Amino acid sequence: MRKTLLLLSLVGMFWSCSDNEDGPVTPPPPAQNNGNVIGSANVWVTNGSKEKLLSGQPSLNIYDNNATDYPSVSVDFSQQYQEIDGFGAALTGSSAYVISQMNATQKEALLKDLFSEQEGIGLSYLRLTIGASDFSLQDFTYDDIPAGSTDPNLEQFSIAEDEAHVIPVLQSVLGYAPGIKIVSSPWSAPAWMKDSGSLGGGSLDPQWYGAYGDYFVKYINAYANHGITIDAVTPQNEPLHETGGYPTMGMTATEQAEFIKSSLGPKFQQAGLTTKIIAYDHNFDQPSYPISVLGDAEAAQYIDGSAFHAYGGDVSAMNQVHAAFPDKKLYFTEVSGGEWSTDFSSNLKWNVGNIFIGTTRNWSKNALLWNLALNSNHGPTNGGCTDCRGVVTVSSSGQVTKNVEYYCLAHFSKFVRPGAKRVNSSNFDNSLNIRNVAFINTDGSKVMVLLNESSQNRTVSIVVGETKINYSVEANSVATIVWQ
């Protein structure tokens, strides 16, 4: 399905207040009577002109006087909301293949840059495909047998395809991010379990609900044998989308609830698995689907929450589901950039505003993009999107290009660490076109991300209790501010 939206070195200079080799410096705000300086905050900026790309800026003063003449936002770090699990992208079969083709030095440099908190941008969450997707080297599941045959006991089950590229790359990732969380999603059940007898389209035949539940258990245990923990699964990627062009499978809300309550949930329980089950995993435009699944009490007892994509509808749908089921978690699991939208500034603002600020302000515990890495031809592809953009692009010689998605991710992943809590922050007047979100990390560090979508620089104040920080947010830019 066509997606319809839309070497940076993270070393000591990012933590320096005086080293400006990585981009021009944002001018300080005009003077006002601010009171006494009682501390400082660090700030990093990416702007639409690309003059600053996660560039460290001079530190900001924290004042003991909260009076201000500037537009302000109030932050209350004592009013805490959802816990953040992490930020990242999908290690698709294609992404794993592209990374595995790099030489050892190139590969390690890329993985360090993507996953090291100290020396890189600290990605902390990955999505995997259970079997093939439209970004795999070929069609496959873990139990492919001749047409007309069945394998009720899954005797032919094998993750050999993943052992070629996905698992080795994952094991390298764990060296930099040992606590990384993983959510896995199937694009299709094995063809013999489906009413279509094909990987492309069709639905899961109810007679194989039990076998398909066992399939998930085998998958999780097979990965565990390689030292990889699957934190969560969704029963089906994009259950409302079917095509014959690559592996897909339709699954109505009623079917999903039935599969979870009659097979997947009990199977996990019997196997002693703590892997979370996350419902839906499709676009914002159908919140009635997860509401329906969660409304089935028998199914809901096994369900941790629901997941969303951003190829249709509005991010506020996540809040709609939260309002209906406030005890259930929310996740954002996919959106892709591509050659249909190439303007860096527009993509920076759309992604930060809708995906990273938008989803977290609407209760999401994570924010994941689609392919982590693709080659210069936007692939390898497997029958789906032919012009999708990865977080990074890797050339045939191993040269890495960091795309706009890299910087959008970095402004969150490096500074908002797993276990952080989103906290209460007010909104600026709509006329300013400035969005914000704030967090507190487990080490007590405070983070605010500001997005200025306007074409003018805006001087604002961040008010925390009796203190404030003044900052001039330049036009068409995102700034991450961190302080203790």
Q: Encoding tokens for residue 460?
A: 């604002």
Q: Is the dihedral of CA 102, 105, 109, 111 positive or negative?
A: positive
Q: Encoding tokens for residue 241?
A: 């989308």
**Given 238, 258, 453, 474, the catalytic residue:** 238
Distance of alpha carbon 147 from alpha carbon 27, whole angstroms? 67
Contact 6, 347 (CB under 8 A): yes
What angle (nearest 5°) sits at the alpha carbon of residue 363, between those of residues 307 and 45? 105
The residues near 398 (Cβ < 8 Å, ≥ 6 apart) are 101, 102, 103, 106
Q: Which amino acid is at 375?
A: N
Q: For 42, how many CA atoms within 13 A lie in the half-sphere containing its CB?
A: 19
**Given 161, 255, 334, 405, the catalytic residue:** 334
Residue 51 annotated as catalytic: no
**What stretches of 225-315 show up as alpha helix (H) in DSSP?**
253-259, 265-271, 288-294, 297-300
Strand 388-389 and strand 337-338: pairing? antiparallel
Residue 453 annotated as catalytic: no
Distances (CA, A) of 354 to 137, 138, 244, 430, 436: 31, 33, 31, 15, 11
3-state SS, residue 449 = strand
In Å, how far from its chain's centre is CA 458? 29
In Å, how far from its chain's centre is CA 77? 24
What angle (nearest 5°) sits at the alpha carbon of residue 24, between those of residues 22 and 25? 105
Q: Tokens 């030292």 sit at which residue?
A: 227
Distance of alpha carbon 319 from alpha carbon 325, whole angstroms? 10
Contact 246, 383 (CB under 8 A): yes
Beta-sheet strands, E only, within 215-335: 232-233, 248-250, 276-283, 303-309, 329-334
Could you list the active site residues?
238, 334
